[in-house]
Amino acid sequence: MSAFVDFAQLHAKAGDGGAGCVSFRREAHVAKGGPDGGDGGRGGSVWIVADHNQASLLGFRDHPFRRATDGQHGTSKRQHGSGGKDSVVTVPVGTTVYSREGELLIDLTGPGDRWLAAEGGLGGQGNARFLSNKRRAPAFAEQGEVGQESWYNLELKLQADVALIGFPNVGKSTLIARVSAARPKIANYPFTTLVPNLGVVRVGARSARPSDATEFVMADIPGLIEGAAEGRGLGHDFLRHVERARVLCVLLDLSELAPLEPPDQLAVLLGELGDYQADLLDRPRVVVGSKGDVAAHELDGVLTISSITGEGIDALVHQLTGLVVEARRAEVATLEHQVVVHRPLPDEITVVKSGDQEWTVDGRPAIRAVRFQDLTDDEALAEIVRRLRTLGVDRMLTRAGVRDGDVVNIGPLSFEWWRDEVGAGLDRGDHHRATRRERLARHGRLDLGGPDDDA
């Protein structure tokens, strides 16, 4: 079973926030101690972090689930619950993250880059937080927020200095075994290599000045065939590992068993690279004739090598080293990589008509505004109204076309919308005998606006 996996799935589940506490101070000789409920702790988040010590996505193949811990509930005496522990998910450098629908979300190109895959839920505020001059004994608290949960597709694109490209059985694996310590599977039949192999090539390591030594990573890309850019022969799975290579080394089979003449092989390979990603043709590349020990063809101006006898190997390594060094100098900004922390954009509030005379308000800020433990408490409903008005939900509903009597759903809360000359209220029959403040919350209806609001 192969130990290299370049495609996997991840299920990230952040921790839920702890609930706020409803509590009142009760001590001897203290008749009215007031509210002292503590806040709930925030749930842990799930972070994806690029780590150069990871080589593949093997760890996700049989265990795609990653969990952060929940926050603890608040308690009396203003004791806040502890926060949940984050889950740090390490992936190889060069991992791209996609949504289940195929949308590219983030590309972790440098070691240490971080992306927030699932944000932990906020802890609920205890009733002590809602104490004010007008509200002396709040008997409500917030419920903890549910942590985010999502499935993602992970893809790994190798970051090699040199990518070996050629038809199946052209000698790529033999070459990488000759110039590095890599030991890929080698056999005399097509598609011996089914996953990329990496090898580290050291040049000048035995010189008197070790600082003069150069190392570069060579990738043995599985053989390409005509139509690879269109997915034939797992072409897309193989070609994506070429995208980030600094230098391309194109091997042409010179033996009499080659499927095509060497010039035709070159034309097909370059055509497939260009069809897959046009700028690959602009990369520095070396064209090499392989299997020189059994060559039946000759190519003028092309270096001929034999990984069996060693013919031309030193010259090839020297040429590749020069191109790699030049490419690295041109990427000074990339080499001086600074860790980047990526966070998803904040959720926007949306208003959607979900049925006949029914509307749904979605978006994390709006749902956070209504996360109270007791939605029947008049003071809690008044606080919900204040928050929703601050977020502009009343204006958004008006502009969307909400009418009197329509049902509005926001998370676990449902209420009826009313608006007339007197003001927006909960029950039109109550307008003549109830003040605006009294009409804020009653019978499952809320007052979110008045005639002075934007229409």
How sure is the predictor about 93, in pLDDT bands with cuts at 50, 70 and 90? Answer: confident
What is the per-residue DSSP string for 258-294? -SS-HHHHHHHHHHHHHHH-GGGGGS-EEEEEE-GGG
Segment 38-60 mean pLDDT? 89
Q: What pLDDT, in 10s, does the model give residues 149-161? A: 999 999 888 778 8
Judge contact between 180 and 220, C-beta under 8 A. no
**Residue 182: per-residue pLDDT:** 57
Question: Residue 412: its pLDDT value, please?
Answer: 86
- Asked whether the beta carbons of 56 and 92 are under 8 A apart, the reply is yes
Inter-CA distances, 300 with 277, 287, 304, 319, 386, Å: 28, 11, 10, 17, 81
At residue 285, what is the residue type?
R
Which residues pair with residue 361 across a beta bridge? Answer: 351
CA atoms within 13 A on the CB side of 334: 12
The CATH architecture annotation of domain 162-334 reads 3-Layer(aba) Sandwich (3.40)
Specify the pLDDT at position 12: 96
End-to-end Cα, the chain, rounded Å: 66
Name the residue among 289, 272, 291 with its Cα closest to residue 281. 272
For the segment 243-255, the average pLDDT, to the nearest whole number, is: 90
Closest CA to 120 of 64, 41, 63: 41
Question: What is the structure's pLDDT at 295?
Answer: 84
Just give the CATH number of 1-156: 2.70.210.12
- Res 332: pLDDT: 58
* pLDDT tens-digit map of 171-203: 888 898 888 875 544 444 444 445 677 777 888
| Coarse DSSP helix, strand, coil percentages of the chain, rounded to the nearest 5 percent | 25, 25, 50
- Sorted by where each begins, the domain ranges of the chain are 1-156, 162-334, 350-446
Residue 237 pLDDT > 70: no
Task: Using pLDDT thresholds of 50, 70 and 90, give the confidence band for residue 121.
Answer: very high
Considering the chain, what percentage of its residues have pLDDT values greater than 90? 36
CATH number for 350-446: choose from 3.90.1200.10, 1.10.10.60, 3.30.300.350, 3.10.20.30.
Answer: 3.30.300.350
Residue 172, amino acid:
K
Q: What's the pLDDT tens digit per position in 304-361? A: 999 889 899 999 999 999 998 888 787 655 545 566 677 676 678 999 999 898 999 9
Partners of 446 in beta bridges: 441
HEC secondary structure over 350-380 = EEEEEECCEEEEECHHHHHHCCECCCCCHHH
Structure tokens at 148: 């985010």
Q: What was the pLDDT predicted at 226?
A: 61
Pick the more confident residue, 421 or 81: 81
**Distance between CA atoms of 179 and 104, rounded to whole angstroms?**
36
Length of the chain: 455
pLDDT score recorded for residue 49: 94
pLDDT of amino acid 80 = 95
Classify strands 303-304 and 247-253 as parallel, antiparallel or unpaired. Answer: unpaired
